[in-house]
Amino acid sequence: MKETTLLKIALICSLIGLFVLYLISTKIEAKEYEHGELNKNIGDDVKLKGTITKITDKGNVVFIEVNQQNPITIVLFNGDDLKLKNGDNIEVFGEVQEYKGKNEIIAQKIRAIR
């Protein structure tokens, strides 16, 4: 086979592969946090919506208490550009972890819901 034919085949396969990955990525979504199921989800990625009741900034770590049905602690590392305050509604994407017998969410992404 000629090099140009192989190049065309490789390019077409790459584009098809990228398109398939795009379609798959649009279907992937984090599980919605539900009260009472957090114990089962340790290590899983979840999505949580709630209202901020308390923010504690410890320098490199920010602890955010979110009230949904029960309060849950959100841990955010390097929250330097955080512009949130008490009473804000937020959506958190993160991983459920257990620390000292309590469950908390290690935040990967936090966004304010207006």
Domain count, the chain: 1
Assign residue 38 the CATH number of its domain: 2.40.50.140
Q: Which two tokens stand for residue 77?
A: 């590392």
Residue 23 lies in a domain: no
Q: Which residue range(s) make up the domain with 89?
A: 32-112
Encode pLDDT of 13-56 as tens digits: 999 999 999 998 887 776 666 555 555 667 778 888 888 888 88
Flag whether the pTM goes above 0.85: no
Q: What is the mean pLDDT of the chain?
A: 82
Cα–Cα dist 96/40, whole Å: 9
User: Could you tell me if residue 41 is inside a domain?
Assistant: yes
Concatenating the DSSP letter of every residue in the chain gives: --HHHHHHHHHHHHHHHHHHHHHHHHH--PEEP-TT-GGGGTT-EEEEEEEEEEEEE-SSEEEEEEESSSEEEEEEES-TT----TT-EEEEEEEEEEETTEEEEEEEEEEE--
